[in-house]
């Protein structure tokens, strides 16, 4: 992936003003290349020179203002131009290469039917893999696209279709958009259409998913209509990009991408098997998130990647808000508190932490690193508190003024803060400095003094890590919970408290009041902070948590408990005991899933090899207890079954489920649950290559192919591990998704003796993997292939040795630094 520095971008933006890209693609060839003819019209200062990003396989011809451009002008992923006029027209005819890494023009062949599918993903700076482009967000332009494709294909782009003649497709010009937002899909996509409030709605998916798309389209359209209506209530500018198409594409790197007029999702969001309500809610949230981008990111775009938060933090916040306010998933903020905020908190405590809005992002490689839990979840949590402080009316008024001032253009942090300050009458510079410009997270602890019956003094103590000593103003709820005579838990009182930056705030109103059984800081989850309970409250959690009716305070308690274990302040054995006590009566599916997932990860890394089997058995027991109380069709049933399978070691029972024996009533052992069972059996050495191959023979689908790759990598067999490792580090013919899933199955906590040689090989061979793969897929592979279960000082020393290497890839450096910090915590916990 080529790198563009901020200095280069600023200089180029001062020289050129891009007007239009007319892109004409020929996709009818049979090889691994396609033809791209592009006309780029732009203004410049006469006599100046500039460059475009461009990565051709072969250049057929190039002219600038009718004069041939010499071939040597295209080199090193750039096309250098000199002697510019005031009005310029660059015409380039070239052969380009399809990709298999999810960037550029990605090509995929479906094993189910042999059909080929394409999607264009130019993010973050991959436009040059399809056409010559001024590839930076503040050089917006109109895109006009023409495509020649096989006659049985469908083609869709950002722009609306003007005409089709056989395999020739012509699309209308778009509004002015950034290069990274230009997209298309092509192939034998299945189509479902609808309309709402004058806006054409379209869904696309692979032909093999046609029946599933048809079945799920009513729900997706309903969510789309509900989200559109809510955004139209909030924003004065209606949806600004004509039609609203949503495509579900194979092997997409992101969960989804906010291309104006044609949002693209990974097609796992059209599941073929049973899913939990949490997964349905997650899809709803992603739909709302990407729709928020139509205003935040597409209508008004950041000027440079240092203001990424203007895109992602707002879309994350509005995604949860609109899901909770407009759809049936009214508990979306519980999911945010339990899952998304935990992602932000973990990212914010790692060595790679950075401000929500960093003052400088030097180049596009550094920008890619900031697509993390800080830019998404922390930024959203901070916005949630800002709205509580400013009031919703002032907040929305500021946003609408911002859209009006910068529609179809670019904006900065200062622009948005100015609009919000004017609308609210409050100076936000101080708020922005501590919340947006400074990294890391505060911890809020309750200090309680009582006489045994009544509070003598209750204070909230705020601390910050030594390396990031910023204390911040917080607005929080403090809940007092008591156990009633009937055994239920009731909230006696909720008080709202403003915490200043002095570090200690006394809650004077509680002095003399009866001490609660549980005192909960950040009740309502208003602020972004780590929460620690006082000792008496923490001791009461196992008794009270199962009886607490409201899902949001339960999520706050679970999140605080998990975080205390992550930090080594509470033992993992205590967490497992709480899971056994409270999870079987937990009613919120999102909480069930997150607790099982997070606890399993902590058991695998924080428990010692000697104590892990017992901890895993208790975790399986908790899932089994929950499964036993679930009636057929209970939303928790599938989550409990997955948790039981993932932690289980009862091979006979798992094999019985595959054979349809003793399956809980109402639980469908469908294609994906079968694969999950086979995956667990493969890890345990109870499913060999023959079992995996037989399952794949009966499931020749994209999902089946991916599951089989993961299962093969998971087998405790030396040859299987060798083959998987070779595929991970060096097989560039393997697609992004297949490589990622192979890597995700490779490391298993049960197989450390067999895997010991690969610990050293990771640090020796991963730099070359990053070189030959590159991009977002390589980051994910490097992360999931990290030897996280090899918890030892030796692993940490190997990491230190690699980090001392000069010229180490920035992405790999970050993966290793953060993974090593996680291992440091695991060693502390084991100690």
| C-beta separation of 191 from 202 below 8 A | yes
Rounded-to-integer distance, Cα 689 and Cα 676, Å: 15
Has this prediction a pTM greater than 0.85?
A: yes
CATH number, domain 333-435, options 2.20.25.90, 3.30.930.10, 3.30.465.10, 1.10.390.10: 1.10.390.10
- Topology of 443-527+529-546 in CATH? Immunoglobulin-like (2.60.40)
* SS3 per residue for 181-232: HCCEEEECEEEEEEEECCEEEEEEEEHHHHHHHHHHHHHHHHHHHHHHHHHH
What's residue 49's pLDDT? 98
* Token code pair at residue 669: 């052992």
229-284 tens-digit pLDDT: 999 999 999 999 999 999 999 999 999 999 999 999 999 999 999 999 999 999 99
- pLDDT for 1 equals 62
Alpha-carbon span 576 to 615, nearest angstrom: 7
Burial 149-184, CB ≥16 within 10 A → b, else e:
beeebbbbbbbbeeeeeebebbbbbbbbbbbbbbbb
- The residue ranges of the chain whose pLDDT is under 50 are none
Question: Is-catalytic flag, 290?
Answer: yes
- Say if residues 177 and 141 touch (Cβ distance below 8 Å): yes
Q: Can you tell me whether residue 350 is helix, strand or coil?
A: coil
User: Given 268, 279, 281, 290, which residue is catalytic?
Assistant: 290
What pLDDT does 172 receive? 98
pLDDT of residue 595: 97
> Where are the chain's structural domains?
333-435, 443-527+529-546, 716-831
Helix, strand or coil for residue 48? coil
Judging by beta carbons within 10 Å of its beta carbon (0-12, 13-18, 19+), is residue 469 exposed, middle or buried?
Answer: exposed
pLDDT at 831: 85
Q: pLDDT tens-digit profile of 417-471?
A: 999 999 999 999 999 999 999 999 999 999 999 998 999 999 999 999 999 999 9
Give the closest residue to 103 by CA, choosing from 653, 698, 780: 780
Residue pLDDT, tens place only, 565-591:
999 999 999 999 999 999 999 999 999
| Residue 347, phi then psi, degrees to nearest 5 | -60, -35
Q: What is the pLDDT, as a whole number, of residue 38?
A: 98
Token pair for residue 634? Answer: 């209970």
Burial of 445: CB neighbours in 10 Å, binned 0-12, 13-18, 19+: middle
DSSP character at residue 539: H
In this prediction, residue 775 carries a pLDDT of 80
Q: pLDDT tens digits for 711-753?
A: 999 999 999 999 999 999 989 999 999 999 999 999 999 999 9
Residue among 788, 795, 789 nearest 819 (CA): 788
Residue listed under structure tokens 């004077």? 508
């Amino acid at each position: 992936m080529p790198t563009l520095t901020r200095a280069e971008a600023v200089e180029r933006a001062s020289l050129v003003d891009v007007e239009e890209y007319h892109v004409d693609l020929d996709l009818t060839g049979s090889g691994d290349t396609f033809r791209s003819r592009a006309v780029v019209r732009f203004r410049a200062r006469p006599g100046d020179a500039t460059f475009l990003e461009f990565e051709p396989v072969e250049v057929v011809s190039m002219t600038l203002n009718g004069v041939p451009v010499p071939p040597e002008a295209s080199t090193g992923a750039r096309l250098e131009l000199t002697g510019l006029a005031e009005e310029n027209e660059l015409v380039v005819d070239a052969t380009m290469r399809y990709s298999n890494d999810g960037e550029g023009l990605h090509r995929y062949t479906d094993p189910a039917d042999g059909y080929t599918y394409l999607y264009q993903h130019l993010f973050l700076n991959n436009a040059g893999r399809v056409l010559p482009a001024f590839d930076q967000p503040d050089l917006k332009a109109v895109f006009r696209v023409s495509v020649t494709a096989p006659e049985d294909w469908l083609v869709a782009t950002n722009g609306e279709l003007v005409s089709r003649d056989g395999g020739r497709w012509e699309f209308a010009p778009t509004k002015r958009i950034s290069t990274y937002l230009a997209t298309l899909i092509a192939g034998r996509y299945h189509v479902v259409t609808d309309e709402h409030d004058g806006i054409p709605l379209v869904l696309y998916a692979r032909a093999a998913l046609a029946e599933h798309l048809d079945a799920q389209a009513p729900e997706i359209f309903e969510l789309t209509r509900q989200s559109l209506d809510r955004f139209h209530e909030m924003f004065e500018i209606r949806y600004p990009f004509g039609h609203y198409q949503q495509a579900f594409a194979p092997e997409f790197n992101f969960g989804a991408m906010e291309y104006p007029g044609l949002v693209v999702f990974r097609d796992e969001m059209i599941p073929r098997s049973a899913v939990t309500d949490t997964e349905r809610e997650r899809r709803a949230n992603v739909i709302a998130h990407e729709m928020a981008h139509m205003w935040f990111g597409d209508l008004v775009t950041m000027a440079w990647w240092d203001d990424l938060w203007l895109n992602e933090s707002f879309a994350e916040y509005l995604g949860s808000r609109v899901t909770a306010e407009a759809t049936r998933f009214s508990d979306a903020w519980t999911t945010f508190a339990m899952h998304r905020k935990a992602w932000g908190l973990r990212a914010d405590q790692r060595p790679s932490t950075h401000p929500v809005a960093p003052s400088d992002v030097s180049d596009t490689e550094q920008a890619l690193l900031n697509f993390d839990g800080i830019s998404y979840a922390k930024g959203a949590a901070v916005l949630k508190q800002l709205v509580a402080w400013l009031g919703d009316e002032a907040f929305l008024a500021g946003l609408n003024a911002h859209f009006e001032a910068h529609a179809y253009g670019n904006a900065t942090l200062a622009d948005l803060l100015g609009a919000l300050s004017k609308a609210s009458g409050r100076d936000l510079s101080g708020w922005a400095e501590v919340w947006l410009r400074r990294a890391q997270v505060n911890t809020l602890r309750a200090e309680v003094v009582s006489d045994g019956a009544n509070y003598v003094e209750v204070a909230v103590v705020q601390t910050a890590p030594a390396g990031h000593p910023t204390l911040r103003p917080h607005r929080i709820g403090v809940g007092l919970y008591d156990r009633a005579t009937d055994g239920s838990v009731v909230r006696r009182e909720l008080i709202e408290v403003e915490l200043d930056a002095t570090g200690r705030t006394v809650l004077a109103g509680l002095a003399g009041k009866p001490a609660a059984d549980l005192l909960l800081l950040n009740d309502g989850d208003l602020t972004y902070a780590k929460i620690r309970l006082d000792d008496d409250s923490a001791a009461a959690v196992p008794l009270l948590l199962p009886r607490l009716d409201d899902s949001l305070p339960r999520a706050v308690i679970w999140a605080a408990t998990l975080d205390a274990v992550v930090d080594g302040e509470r033992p993992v054995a205590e967490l497992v005991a709480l899971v056994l006590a409270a999870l079987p009566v937990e009613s919120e599916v999102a909480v069930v899933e997150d607790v099982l997932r997070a606890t399993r990860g902590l058991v695998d890394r924080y428990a010692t090899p000697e104590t892990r089997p017992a901890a895993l058995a208790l975790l399986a027991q908790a899932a089994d207890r929950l499964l036993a109380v679930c009636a057929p069709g209970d939303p928790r049933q599938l989550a409990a079954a997955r948790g039981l399978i993932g932690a289980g070691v009862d091979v006979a029972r798992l094999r019985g489920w595959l054979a349809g024996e003793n399956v809980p009533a109402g639980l469908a052992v469908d294609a994906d649950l079968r694969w999950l069972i086979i995956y667990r059996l493969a890890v345990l050495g109870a499913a060999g290559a023959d079992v995996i191959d037989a399952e794949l023979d009966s499931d020749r689908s994209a999902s089946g192919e991916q599951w089989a790759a993961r299962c093969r990598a998971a087998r405790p067999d030396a040859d299987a591990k060798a083959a998987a490792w070779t595929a991970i580090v060096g097989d560039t013919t393997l697609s992004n998704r297949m490589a990622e899933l192979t890597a995700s199955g490779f490391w298993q906590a049960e197989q450390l003796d067999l895997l010991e040689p690969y610990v050293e090989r990771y640090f020796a061979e991963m730099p070359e993997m990053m070189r030959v793969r590159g991009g977002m897929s390589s980051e994910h592979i490097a992360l999931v292939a990290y030897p996280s279960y090899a918890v030892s000082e030796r692993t940490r020393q190997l990491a230190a040795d690699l980090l001392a290497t000069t010229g180490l890839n920035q992405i790999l450096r970050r993966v290793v630094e953060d993974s090593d910090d996680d291992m440091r915590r695991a060693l502390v916990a084991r100690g």
